[in-house]
Amino acid sequence: MRIAVLHLGFFYAGGGERLVLEEARGLRQLGHEVECFAPVVDADRCYPELIAEVGVHRLLPDLPRWIPGRVAFLVLLSCLLAPVLALRFRNFDVILAANQPAPWIALVASRLLHKPYVAYLAQPNRVLYPRQVDLDARRPDLDYRLFALFAGLARPLVDWADLKSIQSAANVLANGNYMAGVLESMYGRQMLSCPAGAHPVPASELDYSKRISGTLRVGRLNIPKPYVLLTNRHYPQKRFDHALRALACVPDATLVLTGAPTDYTADVEELACRLGVRDRLLLTGLVSDSQLARLYASAQAYVYTAPEEDYGMGIVEAMGHGVPVVAWRSAGPTSTVTDGKTGFLVEPGDSDAFAGRLRDLLTDPALAARLGRAGWRRVNDGLGYHSHLRRLEEELAAARLAPPNTASAPRRVLRPTLQVAFAVLLLALWSRTVPLADVAAHARPRHLLPLLVIPLLAFSGAVLRSFRWSLLLRPIARVRILDLVWINAAGGLLNYVLPIRSGDAARVWWLQRRHKVPAGAGLATILVDKTFDLAAVVLVLVATRGLWQATAYAGALLAVVVGVALGGVRFARSSFATRFLPERVAAGLGAQAFSFRAGARSLLSLPRVAAVSFLSLLALALDGVSFALLFRVLDLPVKLPAAISAYSALLLTYTVPSGPGYVGTLELAGTAVLATGLGLGAGAAAGAIVLWHAQGALLILATGLVGLNLVARPTRAQGEVGRVAIFHCGFTYSGGGERIVIEEVLGLRRLGYEVECFAPTVDPATCYPDLLPEVGVRTFLPQLPRWVPLRDALHMVLASALVPVYAWRFRRFDVIVGANQPGAWIAWCVARLTGRPHVVYLNQPNRLVYPRAIDVRTGWQTKRDYQLLNLVIQRIRGVVAWADRVSVVGASRLLVNGSYIGGIIRSIYGRDADDCPAGCHVEPGHPLPAHLRFQGSFRLNGRLLRRPFILLTNRHYPQKRFDLAIRAMAEVAKVHPQVQLVIPGEATSHTAALAELVRELGLGESVLFLGVIPEDELQRLYSEAAVYVYPAPEEDFGMGVIEAMAHGVPVVAWRNAGPTVTVASGETGYLAPLEDVGAYAGGILRYLDDQALNETAGRHGHARARRFDWARHIQTLESAILGAAGASVVQPESETASAAEAGV
C-alpha cells in the first residue's frame, strides 16, 4: 500500500511524536510505501535521528523560528488550506491521520479525492477537551494559548470539524484501553485499542548487577548508580514536583530527568533547591535515541508522575528495558502497569506511599529485578511495536478496501461549487475592466485614523439594528440587545460565507432554542426587520436622487415584498401556482407571506412603527457615514450625501445571487456604482470597493466568530449552576478578605462546582504562597512589570474601567460572585453585559468611600497604591460612590461578614443582606494541654520562641493598632519577663515605627517580628500560643480571633466592633474597655497566671468556633448562588425603548 502518515507536528520530543515516527518506520519495514507529513518540523528538537531516518515532509514552507506563535500559525494555516494541501495525497491509497488537525486534513482529502483514512488518537483534542490538570497548569506556551484563543472564538466550527473528522474516519484507533473508553464517550463511536509499543531489549541485556553501582556517562554528565529515571516533556501537567518530593524522602538517591528545557524547568530546579535535593537532580537535556536507550538500560527504577496521563509511553519503554515502574493508580498507567507485578501503582496524591515504593526498589535490588523482568515479559506479550504495527496494518488495509461513502457528495457540493464558479467568473469579468496594479495602487490607505473609525461606526449600526429587532420581538419575548447583537453577527457570518440565507434560518433557530421564541414568530420579526431595511434604502435613494437604476430596482423589490405579503397566501393557493410552480416553492411562498402578515398585524403598533423606522434610518445613516470615511481614507473628494446614496445602492448587491463572501459580485457591481454614481475613475472606484470589501470581511469574520461562539453554546436550565466565577479586589498580601475568597473557591470546588477566581492584581509571593497556587487565581488584564510605580493601583483602575473589553471571558459562567470593591463593581458590569446573575460578598463597605474614624485618623500611608486610589477617588467621589452603590444594590443577593458589619452595610446601602461570617477550620485535638503551651522553646525564621508566648496576627497597618498590644506587653513583662509577643507577617512601612516603640519601651526580645512564614508554621503558632491578642479597635470582623478560638486559645480584644460578635467575654476570652491598656494587660495576665482557666477558656472557644466553621460559610454562599441563578436578572428598559413604547 501507498500510505500517507499525517501528524500535528514535530517540534518537541513527546510520546505522540515518537509513536508516529515509529509507525512510519515500521510500516516501511513491512514493505509499504510510506511518506510522513506535518505542518511543522523542527528536526533538532524532536528525535533528530528518527526524523532523519523517516524523512518528514513539511506541508507548508517553514517560517523563521523567531516569529512569535510560529507553530500555531503554521498549524492553523494548514487547517485553512486543507483543500489545497489535500492534493499532495492524490497518489496514496490510504491516509493515517494521527491527532488533530491531521484527521481534519484527512477528511478534506477524503471528500475531494475519495481517499479513505484511518484516525489514530493518542488523546482527544486537549484545546477543546482539557483535563483538570491542564486547567490547573494553564497554557504552557504562546502557541498553545493561540490555539486556545482561536478555538474559543470559533468553538462551534472547531467542535464540528473535530467531531466530523473523527466520525467520518473508516476506523479510529486509540492509544490503549483507557483512552479508548474516554474517546468513545466523547465522540459516540467505537474506538479500537491499539496501544503504543516499545522495542524490548534482548533478554541477554537484562543485567541487573550493573544497575547497582558504578557510573554512566551521558554527554558531559557522569551519573552515579543506582539512579531513578524520569523521561517526559517539561510541562506543568507532568507534575515533576511529585518526583522531587519523593527524592527528598529517599537519601542518597539520584533522579535523572531527560528532555528539552522549558519555562517549567526553572520551577523544577527552584523546588529542588528548596527541598535540598538540587545536587541529586541531574538534567540531561534533549538526548539522542542511543543515549536514551543507555539511560533506560542502566536505571534502577522509573517514575511517572503525571496524574492524568492519557497513556505514558515512557512507562512501556522502561518496561521494555526491564525497569520497574512507580506511577499513580489513575488514567493511562492503569492499562500498562500491573501493580505488584511489573511495578507499583500508588493512590493519586499519596506522596508518602510514592516515596515508600521508590525506596523499596532502590534498597531491594532483587525486588527491582523481579518486577523489571515481569515488565519486560509484558512488553513482549503484546505491548511491543510488533503488535502495534500488525493491528495498524490490518486497519489500514480494511479502510483501503472500503473507501468512504461519497454517493451523496455531488448533491451536497453542487450549489457551493456553482457559487464559487460564479464568483470566479465575475472576478474574471471585473479584472478585465481595470488593471489589477491600478486597483492595488488606489486601494492603499492614505489616512489610518478614519480606517479605524469605520468598524466602530459599522458595529454601532449593528447595535441599532439589534435594538430595532428587540422592539419587534418585545410583544413575544424580551430578549437582551446584546444577545441579539451576537445572533445577528453569527447569522451574518453564515450568510456571508454561503449566501443562501442560511444565516436567517439560524437566527430563527437560535431565537427558538435560547429564548423560546416560536419559529413562526421569529421568522415574522426577521421578515419585517428586512422590509424596514429595504424601505429605508428606497427612501434614501429617492431623497438623495441616487442612481435611477438602483432606485427603480429597490422600489420594485419593495413592491414585490409588500405584494407577496398582501397576496402571497392567495397566490400560493391559486390554480396558476398549482399548475406552473413546484409544490415546494409555492408552499414556501405561502408560508413566508403568512408569517409576514401575521407578524405585521401583531407586532406593528403605530408607536413601534415610528421607532423602528427611525432606528432603520439612523442605522443606515451610520453605515453611510462609515462608507463616506472610506473616501477620506483614500483621499478622494466625495461628499457625504453622495456617499450615503452610493452606499444605499451598493446594499442592493446583497439581494442577488452571489458567491461566498460576495466575492466578484461586490467588486463588479461596486465598481460600477462608484464609477457611475460618484464620477470616480475605474481604478479609484475599484480600489475603493476592494478596500471596503476587505475591511468589511474582517469585521464580519471577527464579530461572526464571536457570535457563533456565544450563541451556539447550550443553554443551562434556570437555577442550574455548574460554573462560578469569583472576583476579588486583589491578592497582594495575606489578609482576612483574601483568605475568605480562597476558602470559598476551594470549598465550592469540593462541592463539585467549577470555580475560577479572578482579580485585578495578584502577587503569589506575598499572599498565602502555600494556598494561592492551589486556587490558581487569574488576572483580568495582563500584569504590568513589577518595577512600574503604583502597579497595584493601576491594575485596579484599569480593571475597573476596561470591563467591557474583557467581559466576554465570563460568558460561559452561570453565576458571578463579586467579593469587595472593585470586585463587586466588575461583577455588576459583567452581569449587565453577559446577562448572568451576580452575588456580592462584602467584608466591609468601600473604605475609600466610607472610611471609619480610624481610617481618617491614620490615613493610607502604609501603601502608596492606596494613597493614589484615595487621591483619585476623592476627586471623583460622586462617580465612585454611584458605582459602588449600583453594584451592591443591583446584586441578586448580598452577603456580609457577620452581624456587626452587616448592620452597617444595610444602613449604608439600604437593602437586605444575609449574614455569612468568615469561617475557620475546627479540628479535634485542641486545645493542646497547658503544659505543652507553657514549657519549652523552638526556633522559627531564625528566631528563638519561648513558651508561653502571646500571638498577634494581622497586617502591619496603623489601623490595626499594634502599638496598643505592645504597650500592654510592657505591663505583662513586669510580671512575666520571659513571655514574648510574637508578630508574624510581611513588614510594611509601619513596621519600623512599631520596632522603634519596642525599643523605646525597652522590651527587646519580648516582642518578635517574624516576617512571612509558611501556612503550616502559622497554624503551629496558633496551636501553641498561650494567649491571642487582637488590638484593632474598629475591626469589622477579625478572622484571627476565630482562628485562635478554633485552636483552643483564649482571646483578648476590645469590647467594640467585630470581636463583640465572636468572643464571649469571660467565657472564651476577655473584652477590655476600648483602648484601656491597663485592663487589656490585665486580661492577658489572667490567662498567663491561671493555666486551668486558660484551658477552660480554650475549650469553650474551640466549641464556639464551630458556629463559624467554613462548612457553614460555604453552605450560605452556595444557597445565595443557587438563589441568584434561579431568579431572573432584572434588566431595566432603556430610556429609548420606553420612549418608543410610549410613542414619544
Q: What is the pLDDT of residues 804-828, one digit of tens each?
A: 888 888 888 889 999 998 999 999 9
- The predicted structure's pLDDT at residue 817: 96
Return the pLDDT at 925: 76
Q: Residues 681, 728: one domain?
A: no
Kindly indicate the confidence band of residue 720, based on its pLDDT and cuts at 50, 70 and 90.
Answer: low
> Is the domain of 771 the same as that of 816?
yes
Query: According to the model, what pLDDT value does residue 548 have?
Result: 62
Each residue's pLDDT tens digit, 426-440: 888 888 888 888 888
Identify the band that residue 228 occupies on the pLDDT scale cut at 50, 70 and 90. very high
Which amino acid type is present at position 580? F
Residue 1142 has pLDDT above 80, yes or no: no
Query: For residues 1141 and 951, is the Cβ–Cβ distance under 8 A?
Result: no
Task: Please check whether residues 168 and 82 belong to one and the same domain.
Answer: yes
Q: Does residue 1143 sit within a domain? A: no
* pLDDT on residue 1024: 92
Which one has a higher pLDDT value, 468 or 569? 468
Q: How many CB atoms lie under 10 A from the CB of residue 414?
A: 10
Q: Are residues 705 and 745 in the same domain?
A: no
Q: 923 lies in a domain?
A: no
Evaluate whether residue 922 is within a structural domain: no
pLDDT given at position 407: 44
Confidence of residue 480 (pLDDT cuts 50, 70, 90): confident
pTM: 0.50
d(CA 1010, CA 621): 68
Boundary of a domain, candidates 193, 219, 252: 193
pLDDT band for 133, please (50, 70, 90 cuts): low
Q: Is residue 184 part of a domain?
A: yes
DSSP state at residue 200: P
Give the pLDDT confidence score for residue 384 in this predicted structure. 79
| CATH number of the domain within which 856 lies | 3.40.50.2000
Residue 889 clears pLDDT 90, i.e. is over it: yes
588 contact partners, CB below 8 Å, separation of at least 6: none
Taking only the tens place, the pLDDT of each residue in 80-101 is 888 888 888 988 989 999 988 8
Residue 222: inside a domain: yes
Q: Which domain holds residue 350?
A: 203-378
Q: What is the pLDDT of residues 108-121, one digit of tens each?
A: 888 888 889 999 99
Nearest to 422 by CA among 84, 696, 655, 663: 663
Banded model confidence at residue 1141, pLDDT cuts 50, 70, 90: very low
895 and 940 inside one domain? no
Does 289 lie in the same domain as 233?
yes
Please give the residue that has the higher pLDDT: either 423 or 750.
750
39 and 158 both lie in a single domain:
yes
Q: What percent of the chain has pLDDT over 90?
A: 28
The reply to whether 149 and 263 lie within a common domain is no
Same domain for 367 and 441? no
pLDDT at 557: 58
Cell of 538: 428606497
For residue range 266-289, list pLDDT tens digits in order: 889 888 898 888 889 999 888 888
Q: Compute how many other C-beta atoms are within 10 angstroms of the C-beta atom of residue 75.
A: 23
Is 372 found in the same domain as 281? yes
- Give the number of domains in the chain: 5
At 980, list the grid cell. 514574648
Is residue 178 a part of any domain in this protein?
A: yes
Instruction: Kindly report whether the peptide bond that precedes residue 202 is cis, defined as omega within 30 degrees of 0.
Output: no
Please tell me the least confidently modeled range out of 311-325, 409-423, 497-511, 841-855: 409-423
Contact (Cβ atoms closer than 8 angstroms) between residue 909 and residue 828: no
Mean of the per-residue pLDDT values for the chain?
A: 83
Beta-carbon contacts of 363 under 8 Å, excluding residues fewer than 6 positions away, are none
> Does the pLDDT of residue 149 top 50, yes or no?
yes
Q: Which three cell numbers stand for residue 201?
A: 531489549
The pLDDT assigned to 574 comes to 65
Is residue 383 within 8 A of residue 198, CB to CB? The reply is yes
Residue 411 forms part of a structural domain: no
Confidence of residue 1138 (pLDDT cuts 50, 70, 90): very low
Do both 947 and 1012 map to the same domain?
yes
- Nearest partner of 286 among 320, 257, 243, judged by Cα: 257
pLDDT computed for residue 36 by the predictor = 94
Spell out where 827-871 has E strands. Answer: 838-842
Helix (H, G, I), strand (E, B) or coil at 34: strand
Contact 462, 489 (CB under 8 A): yes
Average pLDDT over residues 39-56: 88
CA-only gyration radius of the chain, Å? 36
- For 446, the 3-state DSSP assignment is coil
User: Could you tell me if 265 and 272 are in contact, meaning their C-beta atoms sit under 8 angstroms apart?
Assistant: no
Nearest alpha-carbon partner for 5 in 19, 17, 20, 18: 20
Kindly give the pairing relationship between strand 937-940 and strand 943-946.
Answer: antiparallel
Q: Is 731 helix (H, G, I), strand (E, B) or coil?
A: strand
The β-bridge partners of 172 are 119
E strands present in 1022-1127? 1027-1030, 1051-1054, 1069-1072
Q: pLDDT confidence of 308, banded at 50, 70, 90?
A: confident
Domain limit, last residue, from 378, 398, 428: 378
Query: Is residue 1129 predicted with pLDDT exceeding 80?
Result: no
Last residue of a domain, one of 915, 944, 972: 915
Please answer whether residues 175 and 19 qualify as being in contact, where contact means their C-beta atoms are separated by less than 8 angstroms. Answer: yes
> Do 299 and 208 share a structural domain?
yes
| Span 1119-1123, average pLDDT | 90
Instruction: In whole angstroms, give the CA distance from residue 1052 to residue 53.
Output: 76
Distance (Å, rounded) from C-alpha 289 to C-alpha 282? 18
Q: For 656-707, what is each residue's pLDDT tens digit?
A: 767 788 888 888 888 888 888 888 888 898 899 899 989 988 998 888 888 8
Cell of 1044: 485562635
Q: Which residue has the higher pLDDT, 655 or 783?
A: 783
Distance CA 998, CA 1124 (A): 51
Sequence-ordered list of residues with C-beta below 8 angstroms from that of 418, at least 6 positions apart, any chain:
none
Q: Is residue 634 part of a domain?
A: yes
